[in-house]
Amino acid sequence: KSTIVSVMLTPWAWTRMPSCRSINGSYAADLGLEMSRKARDIVESEEYQECFPDVLIRKDQNTKSNYVTTGKGQRITTSTGAGITGKHAHVIVIDDPLNPKQAASAPELKEANNWMEETLPSRKVNKKITPMILIMQRLAQNDPTGSRLEKAKKDGGKGVRHICLPATTEYTIRPKRLQRQYSDGLMNPSRTNRAVLEEVKTVSGDFVLSCQYGQSPIPRGGGMFKRDRAKLVHSIPSEGFKQVTRYWDKAGTYDGGCWTVGLKLGLQEIKL
């Protein structure tokens, strides 16, 4: 996905629209610069120049993060949360706006969503037709993909084309016609077979398996405590506990986070 969209798209667009400007973002600056370098390598390659000799990068505007062609085309590299004031693009590509660690942080998740929904749309040359392409693995229910799909649902799905390719056909595939490209129910048996998926489930749990491989996020707690295994009781005896522990998890995350929670946990022997 990254090779096709984050690397090849701009060099291809310049062969058809020499003045095309693109903004390309990622969660890490070094990752974005690496893809920018690869795109530039394509344009400067002998094969490309032999086919498209009119597409040339200007020597006086040729940096890792921002280069311009003689046809007034431009490729700008940025990172999540960064300001891009004064820059406008005909296409915006965001490749992994956050990583799994950032997705677990409420403030960083909020920053990524705000950047996607408030900052980037204002950088479009034409708000009606400039496309924004988001590439990412699902990391949480309210990650940038989840947030955008939720808004699209309220708007009747207008303006969004959702392509979803989970590791197996056990999860929802969009569009459905792509299911026929799977082999024995697997998207890529050579890299992610059933043994690999079972190891992911054993080592990392249901949360990682459902999010990153199934593209169907579940609540993070769903990978720790199984609700269907818990029995609800309305009262318990006050005696007979071998050990009782009280603990408070105080809300301390700046500008977000979970509620303060008090837990009283007791160990009791029950005769069946």
Report the share of the chain in percent with pLDDT over 90.
Answer: 73
pLDDT digits (tens, 9 = 90+) for 130-139: 999 999 999 9
- Could you check whether the bond before residue 175 is cis, i.e. omega within 30 degrees of 0? yes
| Pair of tokens at residue 25 | 């973002």
pTM here is 0.79
Q: Check residue 263 and give its pLDDT.
A: 86
Phi and psi (nearest 5°) for 46? -65, -40
Please write down the HEC assignment for all residues of the chain: CHHHHHHHHHHHHHCCCCCCEEEEEECCHHHHHHHHHHHHHHHHCHHHHHHCCCCCEEEEEECCCEEEECCCCEEEEEECCCCCCCCCECEEEEECCCCHHHHCCHHHHHHHHHHHHHHHHHHECCCCCCCEEEECCCCCCCCHHHHHHHHHHHCCCCCCCCCECCCECCCCCECHHHHHHCECCECCCCCCCHHHHHHHHHHHCHHHHHHHHCCCCCCHHHHCCCHHHCCCCCCCCCCCEEEEEEEEECCCCCCCCCCCEEEEEEEECCCC
Q: Check residue 108 and give its pLDDT.
A: 93
Answer yes or no: are the C-beta atoms of 32 and 78 closer than 8 Å: yes
266/114: higher pLDDT = 114
Confidence of residue 99 (pLDDT cuts 50, 70, 90): very high
Answer yes or no: are the C-beta atoms of 98 and 108 closer than 8 Å: yes
d(CA 23, CA 82): 12
267 forms beta bridges with 243
Answer yes or no: are the C-beta atoms of 90 and 130 closer than 8 Å: yes
Q: Check residue 255 and give its pLDDT.
A: 64
For residues 101-129, give the mean pLDDT. Answer: 93
| Pair of tokens at residue 165 | 């390719």
- Inform me whether the pLDDT recorded for 242 exceeds 60: yes
Answer yes or no: are the C-beta atoms of 86 and 75 closer than 8 Å: no
- Inform me whether the pLDDT recorded for 87 exceeds 80: yes
261 forms beta bridges with 249
Confidence of residue 228 (pLDDT cuts 50, 70, 90): low
Q: Check residue 257 and give its pLDDT.
A: 62
| Pair of tokens at residue 259 | 């509620």
Q: Check residue 224 and give its pLDDT.
A: 55
Confidence of residue 269 (pLDDT cuts 50, 70, 90): confident
Please write down the HEC assignment for all residues of 96-160: CCCCHHHHCCHHHHHHHHHHHHHHHHHHECCCCCCCEEEECCCCCCCCHHHHHHHHHHHCCCCCC
65/255: higher pLDDT = 65
For residues 164-176, give the mean pLDDT. Answer: 96
- Inform me whether the pLDDT recorded for 220 exceeds 80: no
For residues 101-125, give the mean pLDDT. Answer: 93
pLDDT digits (tens, 9 = 90+) for 172-182: 999 999 999 99
pLDDT digits (tens, 9 = 90+) for 16-27: 999 999 999 999
pLDDT digits (tens, 9 = 90+) for 47-84: 999 999 999 999 999 999 999 999 999 999 999 999 88
21/153: higher pLDDT = 21
Contacts of residue 127, Cβ cutoff 8 Å, sequence gap at least 6: 121
For residues 144-164, give the mean pLDDT. Answer: 90
